[in-house]
Chain A
């Protein structure tokens, strides 16, 4: 009986391996082939010209240097702040801890393009509102801030990675056994000595893991480097690749692939390192489930300034960008808030945006990709997760590694891979092509929460239903589906939100006719049409906010955010 069941499952595993393999290994393979090909129309004609061209590019050394500074700077900034926030919220008596619970869902609401756009509107050197304000205030000849700089890029990307670093460090803080510190105190060590010799060394793997993750993310980042870096002529690897495929009379996907492969390799190595560090960190977890309440560190006099710091960070992350967007969406051009500015407010930006046929098409496309893409993506994830958890075979282990492969793929690079992958298929330059690329790139974000949802459904729950007389399908309907439903809904919403704000894959694959919201917002921002950016951005935030609210009304957990 068992024998027959498992033999019937084999085709499912094989089919899934083929689909998932095509979606994850396929584009990488095509990226390699493409890098040795003469061009997008001549796949397979072997040449090493693209490598020679890519790696002798005089602009490359400077780009690499920028990339190193940008990623390390971002990682330092976001790890230190994320660590501080995690410490304050987990271990201390800082007030309004509820505020910290909003932090992880912030990136679901405010896409990177809009965050960058809002800050550019505030801090660009020519007409940034904050710069204008300070210029008037102090009678300066130019604005004091220039967002189009490495510093500006690090600030923005660091803020954007903050929720993620916070999410990765927090569990390590939670599981930190405070008696380890107490043991040090009673051994005769002061607070500071304890921090240096016990607390920080034990948290070190968690911090290093977070730091590595921030590097991986900023290496793959595109919104900030393209919107902030490119106007300042500060190019990093992603924007370097973007320039190769978008600027000039002939996009060179071969050269892009040749560069992309080292980024991909770096990213894969870093993800490997990250996993290693995370497992090392969990080895230091020594909490024994003892009933004693962990000691809360009293901040004393530092409580107020630290709380103000948190509020400031929160304003930087959410309030200022949101307020700026709303304000700008009603203004004809950038103006410091004043009576005149308020008197000039109107709905023209909103009308212009909604009358623009390209933009309405982008809206439709993004909505289509979010709804249909997430549905198909989750459907695939359910099957994959089921096989991974319930079928223990070599095939399911292979499927598991395949489905988590794209965690380490930078979107931009995999976008180029999909370009090569799709070019000979009828999906090329269609919305379905984008959909395939989305699902392939974001599959781990569907599989992971569903895998844990399946793991929580104990085998015996299903078995006991069978023992009490339910058929297999009846057990599925009465036991498995109800238990799985919240996990499926939450994974769907997470994926739909990710598809709405997807930029780095889209920017490679989007074509006239298959425009998506984020890419159009980026183009509007590049043209300096801040009012329209803001109006369209608010519509976009509205879409994802509706999804998040639906999720919270259904009480599904959204903690499985992107890590």
Chain B
């Protein structure tokens, strides 16, 4: 399917005197319309470079980029549209609010360039400022606003000319933690309501999980995994992705047999455990399995034993408000478990835990961590 933004075989290297960095290594990606795609990865993974190539602020070395039905950059066809002709909107990390203009001036700018009549500009700026809850701020100097307000000016400016796609370059990273959380929610609601295609760059995993319809995880100029937030967090088999997103317990294990085509019985420090594993791994294969700390449940000592239960000792305990973060020693390994706060626990307690077979997964041994 032709996506809203399609990137094919994109390569970009930065050459300096000291070194050559491959920022994008043959990246192919396409985004469905009216969805929010997040590019997530550690710094230096190429996500910002990819976004800037799409915006036209950076020139790739080879490959092709199209937005909507239009090819905006192509090595083979010799096409290179400048940023102003790509019909995009963009919100920058620094907001890039023009300090010499008012809020109105900033937001009206994209419309003025398009030669839209004055009365219509006023109308549209008024509407968009209402939408981002900045009515009445029209004549303020934009730089005199708070960080959150500047961020909304930047958003209004990016939206006002009704772009085909809107690009976000770490737009929340300059807000303080509390504001970032509420803005995240607002932005998500706002974008879904307007049904806008967006590409969103961040290095903050929580931000990525909460805001996106789709996440592409990048590493070393390559997209290593693509999926919904749930897929990425709960069902990834990629060791890098599992380690990068959230916290995980990794355990060495050996496959002893198969329950069905997706579930293997492995032996590990927790004993024999049923876990999600691809069926092409033969019996006796060494694998790494992982569990998320919050997927453990405490089982009452009196209840009859079922699959995937084990007993361990609490070796350290941290009360983190919403939950206990308990380190449990079991079979020579230590696992981190987030346990419900109302369960009375203290150091040295024996505790019986259960984990669902779906939340216990084998990593793909072909991928490197």
A binding-site residues for B, Cβ under 8 Å: 177, 179-180, 182-191, 193, 197-198, 201-202, 204, 283-284, 286-288, 290-292, 295
Contacts and interface: CB of A to CB of B under 8 A. Distances in A.
Contact of B109 (A177, A184, A292): A184
Central interface residue in A180, A190, A204, A287, by most chain B CB within 10 Å: A180
Contacts of B122: none
Nearest to B141: A283
B83 A185 contact: yes
Contacts of B43: 291
Central interface residue in A182, A287, A288, by most chain B CB within 10 Å: A182
Contacts of B167: 186
Central interface residue in A185, A190, A191, A287, by most chain B CB within 10 Å: A185
B311 to A, nearest CB: 48
27 contacts: A179-B94, A180-B96, A182-B55, A182-B57, A182-B83, A182-B92, A182-B96, A185-B56, A185-B84, A186-B89, A187-B84, A187-B109, A187-B161, A188-B110, A188-B113, A189-B84, A189-B113, A190-B84, A191-B82, A283-B143, A284-B100, A286-B97, A287-B94, A288-B93, A288-B174, A290-B94, A295-B57
B98 interface: yes
A177 B154 CA distance: 15
B178 interface: no
B157 A187 contact: yes
Nearest to A186: B90
Contacts of B337: none
B88 interface: yes
A125 B98 CA distance: 52
A371 B82 CA distance: 59
Interface string B70-112: 0000000000001111101110111011111000000001100
B93 A186 contact: no
A183 B90 contact: yes
B48 interface: yes
B342 interface: no
A188 B84 contact: yes
A182 B57 CA distance: 7
B48 A284 contact: no
Contacts of B98: 180, 183-184, 198, 202
Nearest to B161: A188
Interface of B: 43, 48, 55-58, 82-86, 88-90, 92-94, 96-100, 109-110, 113-114, 143, 154, 157-158, 161, 167, 174
Contacts of A295: 57-58
Given A186-B83, A290-B93, 15 more contacts: A182-B90, A183-B90, A184-B98, A186-B55, A186-B56, A186-B57, A186-B158, A187-B89, A187-B110, A187-B157, A190-B82, A193-B113, A204-B100, A286-B96, A286-B143
B149 to A, nearest CB: 15
A187 B110 CA distance: 5
Contacts of A283: 99, 143
Nearest to B99: A284
Contacts of B143: 283, 286
Nearest to A179: B96
Central interface residue in A177, A182, A188, by most chain B CB within 10 Å: A188
A292 B84 CA distance: 21
Contacts of A189: 84, 109, 113
Given A183-B157, A187-B157, A189-B113, A286 B94 contact: yes
A291 B113 CA distance: 30
A177 B89 contact: no
A288 B99 CA distance: 14
Contacts of B154: 183
A137 B93 CA distance: 62
A283 B97 CA distance: 13
A202 B96 CA distance: 12
Nearest to B90: A186
B98 to A, nearest CB: 6
A232 B291 CA distance: 90
Nearest to B86: A186
B100 A202 contact: yes
Contacts of A187: 84, 89, 109-110, 113, 157, 161
A191 B94 CA distance: 20
A186 B94 contact: no
A179 B113 contact: no
Contacts of A201: 100
Given A185-B82, A186-B84, A292 B99 contact: no
Nearest to A289: B94
Given A179-B96, A183-B92, A283-B99, A292 B57 contact: no
B160 to A, nearest CB: 9
Given A286-B143, A292-B48, A186 B100 contact: no
A487 to B, nearest CB: 31
Q: Which 6 A-B pairs have the closest CB atoms?
A: A183-B96, A187-B110, A185-B83, A179-B96, A288-B94, A186-B90
A182 B317 CA distance: 50
Contacts of A185: 56-57, 82-84
A286 B56 contact: no
A203 B86 CA distance: 27
A183 B94 CA distance: 10
A159 to B, nearest CB: 32
Contacts of B109: 184, 187, 189, 197
B170 to A, nearest CB: 8
A177 B57 contact: no
Nearest to B160: A187
A180 B96 CA distance: 5
A286 B89 contact: no
A191 B82 CA distance: 9
Given A183-B157, A198-B98, A188 B114 contact: yes
Contacts of A288: 93-94, 174
Given A177-B94, A187-B113, A189-B113, A202 B99 contact: yes
A96 to B, nearest CB: 14
A23 to B, nearest CB: 40
A18 B254 CA distance: 87
A271 to B, nearest CB: 24
Contacts of B110: 187-188
A286 B92 CA distance: 13
Nearest to B154: A183
Contacts of B93: 179, 288, 290, 292
Contacts of B157: 183, 187
A381 B98 CA distance: 41
Contacts of B82: 185, 190-191
B144 to A, nearest CB: 10
Given A182-B57, A187-B110, A177 B96 contact: yes
Contacts of B58: 295
A190 B175 CA distance: 31
Contacts of B94: 177, 179, 286-288, 290
Contacts of B56: 185-186
Contacts of B86: 186
Contacts of A190: 82, 84
A179 B161 contact: no
Given A286-B94, A291-B43, A292-B48, A186 B88 contact: yes
A500 to B, nearest CB: 39
A191 B57 CA distance: 12
